[in-house]
Structure 1
Amino acid sequence: MTATALWSRRVGRVAVVDITWGPAFVVVALVSAFVGLVLGAGDDLRRWLVPALTALWGLRLAWHIRGRAGSGEEDPRYAELLGDGGFRVAVRKVFLVQGVAVWLISLPVQASGVTEVWSWWLVGLGVLVWALGMVFEVVGDAQLAAYRAEPRDARPPVMDRGLWAWTRHPNYFGDACVWWGLWIAGALASGWLPGLLTVVAPLAMTHFIRNVTGARLLERTMSQRPGWDAYAARTAYFFPRPPRRRVG
C-alpha cells in the first residue's frame, strides 16, 4: 500500500488502489507460504495451493479493472470520500485502511502457510466454493462487458440477462464465495480453532462488499436508471435465486 500511495501521488488518482487490491493478497499468500517453509510448518501441498488460488483471483481482478482505475479522471467514490483533502487524507482514509483490510481478510491465507491439514475433504470443499465464486465473477463480468458493447438504443436500460437475472451483483457474490472458499480450505481445514480465529475474514469481506462499499454503494447510482425498480423487484439483491415473474 505504501508503493500504491506513491504511485497514486505520481499519477494523481487514488483509484489505482483498486488495481493493487488483488495483488496485495498474492503478496501476503506468498510471504505466508515462505514463512511456513522456513519454519518447517504446514503442509507442502496446501502451502502452494492456497497462494495459487489467491493469485488466480487477485491477478484476474487487477487485469479486469486496470483500464477503469488506472486512467482517466478520479473515481467518483474516492472523490466524494476525500473531498478537498490532499495526499495526506488519501493515505489516512484509503491506503492505511486498505492495508489493514488486506491483513484482516487474508488471515485464512496466512494460516494456510503455517498450519497442518486436519481434513482434506474440507480443502476440496473450499476449492469448490472458490471455483463457484470465480465462475460468478468471470462469467458475470463477461456478460456485463457484452452488454456494454451493444448500441445503447438496442439494449435494455438495465442489464438483466444471464447471471444478472439471478442476482443484481453476481461479481460481488462471487467475491464473497472466493473468500469463504479460501477460509474453508486455508483455515477451517486445519481444525475448528484456526477456523474460529479467522472466520472474521470472510464475514468482513461479505459484509463490506454487500452492505458498505460494494453492492450497496453501486445501487445508489443504478437505482436512477429507467426500469431499475422493476428489475430490482424480480431479481435477488445478493444471493442468487430464480427471477420472479415479470409483472405487467
Structure 2
Amino acid sequence: MYTFQAATWGLALAVAIAVPTWAVSVPLRDASLADRVWASFIAVPAALYVLMLGADARLMVMLTLLLAWALRLTFYVSRRNWGHGEDRRYQAIRARNQPNFELKSLWLVFGLQAVLGWTVSWPVLAAAGGPPWSLWDSLGAALALAGLLTEAIADAQLARFKRDAANQGRVMDRGLWRYSRHPNYFGEACVWWGLGLMGLAGGGWANAWCLVSPLLMTVLLLRVSGVALLEQDIAERRPAYADYIARTSAFIPWPPRRA
C-alpha cells in the first residue's frame, strides 16, 4: 500500500515539473527545455520514495548516485544548450505535429517525458525496505559509478574537442570516442543497469518490474532518442563519419577495427 502511494505521489511530482516547464516553453518556442528538466523527472520522485519509505544504506547510496547523475546532466545540458534556441530534434517534432504544436507538446513532449522519467525511477521504489546490503548491491553500485564516470569523461572530452576551432568539421575519435561512437550513452546505460541491480537486490524477484527502468533507458538510448536518431543522417552531413562508423563500435567500447 505504501509503495503504491509513494509511486502515485512520484508520478504527480513529475507531472508537476512538466506542466510549468511546458508553459514556459510555449512563448519561447523551445520544446527542448524538456531536456533540461529530464533528470528531475527521475531524481525528484526517487528522493520522495526515500522520504516516504525510509532510508537505509542501500537507498542512500542509490539516491546519492542518482542525484550526482542528475546534477551533472542538468548542468551539462543547460550549459550546452544555453543561447542556441530549440534543438533541431525538437524542431523536427514541431514540424511533424502542426498545427497547434504548442498545445500538443504538453503531452507529446513534456507529459510523455514525465511518465518515462517516473518509470526510470522505479529501482529506488523497488529497493525500499529490503534485506541488508549484499554483494549484488556492491556490484550494482560499482557499475553505476563506473557508468557515471564514463559518461562524464566522454562528455568532457567531446566538449573540449568542439571548443577547438581547428576541429571544425572533423570527427571526434579520440579518448573514449576511439572505442565507441557513443561512450556517453554506454555510460548512461551502465548507470541504470547498476541501479536496477540494486533495486533487484533490495526487492528480490518479486520486484523484478524495476528492471523496466534499465531496459527502457537502453531502448531509448539505442533506438529512439540516442544512437539511431543522431546517426540517421550524420554520414550525409559529415562524410568522414562513414569511415568512423566502419571502424568504431556503435555502443559498447571495443578496440577499433582496422581500415
- TM-score under structure 1 normalisation? 0.89
Q: What is the CA–CA distance in structure 2 between the aligned matches of 1:244 and 1:82, rounded to whole Å?
A: 39
Q: Which residue of 2 aligns with 1:231?
A: 244
Supply the AA of the counterpart residue of 1:243.
P
Q: Which residue of 2 aligns with 1:161?
A: 174
Q: Which residue of 2 aligns with 1:12?
A: 29
Q: Which residue of 2 aligns with 1:40?
A: none
Off by >6 Å, runs of 4+ in structure 1: none
Q: Which residue of 1 aligns with 2:51?
A: 34
Q: Does structure 1 conserve the Cα–Cα contact (< 8 Å) formed by 2:120 and 2:216?
A: yes
Query: Aligned to 2:200, which of 175, 187, 199?
Result: 187
Supply the AA of the counterpart residue of 1:102.
G
115-124 vs 76-85, which moves further: 115-124
Q: Secondary structure at the match of 1:73?
A: coil
Q: Does structure 2 conserve the Cα–Cα contact (< 8 Å) formed by 1:106 and 1:201?
A: yes
Q: Does structure 2 conserve the Cα–Cα contact (< 8 Å) formed by 1:118 and 1:191?
A: no
Supply the AA of the counterpart residue of 1:68.
R
Supply the AA of the counterpart residue of 2:196.
W
Does 2:119 correspond to 1:107?
Answer: no
Q: Does structure 1 conserve the Cα–Cα contact (< 8 Å) formed by 2:199 and 2:210?
A: no
Q: Secondary structure at the match of 2:173?
A: coil
Percent identity, aligned pairs only, is 34
CA RMSD of aligned residues (A): 1.8
Q: Which residue of 2 aligns with 1:79?
A: 91
Query: Aligned to 1:148, which of 146, 149, 162?
Result: 162
Supply the AA of the counterpart residue of 2:67.
A
Gapped regions of structure 2 (runs ≥ 5): 1-17
Q: Shift in Å at residue 164 of structure 1?
A: 0.5
Q: Which residue of 2 aligns with 1:170?
A: 183
Does 2:64 correspond to 1:49?
Answer: no
User: How many residues are matched?
Assistant: 238
Gapped regions of structure 1 (runs ≥ 5): 38-42
Q: What is the CA–CA distance in structure 1 between the aligned matches of 2:198 and 2:204, rounded to whole Å?
A: 11
Q: Shift in Å at residue 22 of structure 1?
A: 0.8
1:17-73 deviation line (CA, Å, top 9, x unaligned) = 101111221211110001102xxxxx5222222111110001100000103334332
Q: Secondary structure at the match of 1:158?
A: coil
Q: Which residue of 2 aligns with 1:211?
A: 223
Q: What is the CA–CA distance in structure 2 between the aligned matches of 1:190 and 1:92, rounded to whole Å?
A: 32
